[in-house]
Amino acid sequence: MKKLLLIVGLITLALTGCKKEETAALLIDEIAVPGAKCEMCQATISAAVLKLDGVSKVDVDLDKKITSVAHTEQVSREDLEKAIAASGYDTGSHAKDSTAYENLPECCK
């Protein structure tokens, strides 16, 4: 009986002790996007940033003109700003892509 309990205990320990779930800590960056005006802007900016591997959440606040991004450390602020600029919006450090800007809906210009 003692051997059975020992075996069950070891199996339980092995199953629970070997499960290492590593979750990467998320970073939050807030990026000024002064050209964000409407829900279409929110959708465009969100879609562009969510394409980056490591980005888990994007919130575009139209009142504050701030985009908050939750991401892993693999994604730099530079990557985020480049993605936003490539979608047609200026950021603090990057000018918008003029072709992308011209393709935005009129409400976003």
User: Where in the chain are the domains?
Assistant: 27-108
CATH architecture assignment, domain 27-108: 2-Layer Sandwich (3.30)
Predicted structure pTM score: 0.77
Alpha helices in 1-109 (DSSP H): 2-17, 39-50, 77-86, 98-102
Cα 104 to Cα 15: distance, rounded to the nearest angstrom: 53
- Which residue has tokens 């993605």? 83
**Each residue's pLDDT tens digit, 24-41:** 589 999 999 999 999 999
**Each residue's pLDDT tens digit, 33-92:** 999 999 999 999 999 999 999 999 999 999 999 999 999 999 999 999 999 999 999 998
- Which residue has tokens 């600029």? 85
